[in-house]
Every structure is written in C-alpha cells, then in structure tokens.
Chain A
Amino acid sequence: MTDPMMPPGDSPLDEQNLDGHTIEELSDYLDNGRQPTDQSIESSAGAQNALAALSRLRALAPRILEAEAKAAPVRDASWFKRLLDQIGVQAHAGREIPIRSDHPEAQLSITEGAVRAIVRAVGDEIDGVLVERCRLDGDVETSGEPVSVVIDVSIYADAEASSVIDELRRGVESALSRHTELNVSGVDIVVRDFEKDPEED
C-alpha cells in the first residue's frame, strides 16, 4: 500500500529508482543468489538499494508473520463439533427414562438415545460383533415396568458366535444396570448377518 505521506521516488523499491530493472527481475536475481552476475544490476546504485531492501524484507517477513500468529487469538475449532454433538443428541433422544430422586420436585431421566448408545458402546468393545440396531420394547417411561432390549447384530465370520453373543449380553446387562434404572426383563440378540471382518482387508 502506498504511503500518501511519502513523496514519490523515496522508496528504494520504486520502479523509477531501479535503472530500468523491475522488482520481479531483482527478486528473481536475489532468489538465484545473484548468479549469474548481472553487471547492469551490480553496477546500479538504485538496483543495489532495491536488492538490499528486498533482502531486509525477506529477513523480516517470517518474524513479522510469526509475531502476528502469536498475537492472533487462538481459534477454537471444537465449537463446530460441539454444535453437531448438540444436534445429534437432540435428534436421537427418543423417550425419557426416569431416574429416581428423593426430591419431590426433581425430574431426572436418561434419554432412550443415550441408552441405545450405551448398548452400541458395549458392542464396540467386543471383537467380532457389530451392533446394527437396538430397540427398547416396553413402557420405558414408567419406573419399574419390564423392558426388553432387542439388539440386531452382525457377527464377523471368524468369530465364535455363541461366545460373542454371551459376552455382548452380559456386557449390556451390566452397563444398563449401572447406568439406568430400567427393569430389564431380557436382552434378545438377533444375528442378522455373518460378515468378513473389515480389519482383515
């Protein structure tokens, strides 16, 4: 940007001070380590001043950028993830499953979506099984009512199905007992498919 207070011709980088050379030409000359020697540049005081100014600029530029980067506020990219998280939690909330409280005016609950996510997380921890769908059958919104958990899974072809299913059932019963107050009457696991383990590819 031109400084309006500076009279024309005062900058060593003004074209009129370069003895017929251009900034681009001088910049390329500098890039090449002033090789091969160009006598018209080396013998020109104006070109020499411009080369010196360009050298100073190149030396300073990284420090200026670094200083600006340090001074700039840190941008928090996680806000977008949090926004998607907010939308995801609301979109999959489902029914509200009550949690007991001694306080008469407390209304505590865990969403059906959170419970399904707990079931999926149990499956994620077990090798050889993929939880595809999870359904809570029963009146989950009334404390004490029996609720059946129905889980559709795929078993990887090289996994021992009965062992994997037992482990999943035990894991789900344990997790739901710990994180909910559901009266789980049963965990029904339906094997929909036998698949090749994608990690083998």
Chain B
Amino acid sequence: MGYSTPDDLNYRLTQMLRKVPGVTAVYATAPVLPKVLSTVVEVIKNEPTAVHLVTIRDADGGIDIDAYVGVSADEAAPDVCRRAHDAIREYVAGNHDLPARAVKVKIGRVG
C-alpha cells in the first residue's frame, strides 16, 4: 500500500469515483489492518485518503484497475457499480496514456 499524491492516477481515480452518482465511499483494495500500526502516524498526518485506495497494475499494453466502493441504497447497487466501472474506463481513456484493461469494481457496502 503506497501513498498517493495529487498527481497519481490512483489519487485522481479515487477522487473521480467519489463524484460518481451513487458512490458514497471508496475503500482500500489492499488490506488496511496489517498496515495500520505501521502507518498510523502517517494516517494522522495525512488522513487515510493519502493511502492508495484504488489499485493499479501494469497489464499487457495497459493497466488493470481495482476499486472497492460503498454505494447509496437509493438506487440499485448493480447500476451504481456499472456506472463506476464505466466512469473509470472513461477517465483513463481521457487522462492516461495506456488503456484500461481489466477493471474490477467491488461493492463493500450499500446504504
């Protein structure tokens, strides 16, 4: 689990996902608990948003992206999930030099 800066694609995707209608939270895709003790000081200084929440991996000529979100109960969760997925692809297509390959969006909480 690394740390994001405003220039990181991870950070920008996290910020973008928070604005997708129906998305209420972006969770860390990598386990948080084992890292808590070692990073608590940094968390206090920087807030957990500074930790990578969205995971990006190099793929064959592109990047694979994992995102873990909470969604509102006001509309069907699968609809919000598909919307978040589409938003990730659209953002990467317009803001990154490599295309998105596998995009994984997992819902961890509804409501």
Contacts and interface: CB of A to CB of B under 8 A. Distances in A.
Interface string A96-117: 1001110101111111011001
Contact of B110 (A76, A79, A110): A110
A118 B110 contact: yes
Interface stretch (A24-32, A54-62, A84-92, A158-166): A84-92
A82 interface: yes
B89 interface: yes
A40 to B, nearest CB: 53
A110 B101 CA distance: 20
B70 to A, nearest CB: 7
A91 B34 CA distance: 11
Interface string A48-88: 00000000000000000000000000001001001101110
Contacts of B27: 85-86, 89-90
B98 interface: no
B102 interface: yes
Contacts of A180: 77-78
B107 A114 contact: yes
Contacts of B102: 105-107
Nearest to A109: B106
Kindly state the interface size class of chain B when it binds its partner. 20 to 34
A121 B33 CA distance: 25
Nearest to B100: A105
Given A79-B48, A83-B43, A181-B78, A89 B105 contact: no
A179 interface: yes
Contacts of A113: 108
Given A87-B33, A90-B31, A178-B76, A103 B111 contact: no
Contacts, number: 106
A89 B31 CA distance: 10
Contacts of A103: 85, 89, 103
Contact of A96 (B25, B89, B101, B106): B106
Contacts of A181: 78
Contact of B85 (A91, A108, A178): A108
Closest 8 CB pairs of A and B: A89-B108, A179-B77, A107-B104, A110-B107, A99-B78, A79-B47, A86-B32, A105-B102
Interface of B: 25, 27-28, 31-33, 36, 43-44, 47-48, 68, 70, 73, 76-78, 81-82, 85, 89, 100-111
Given A105-B102, A106-B102, 6 more contacts: A83-B48, A86-B28, A90-B108, A93-B108, A110-B107, A178-B76
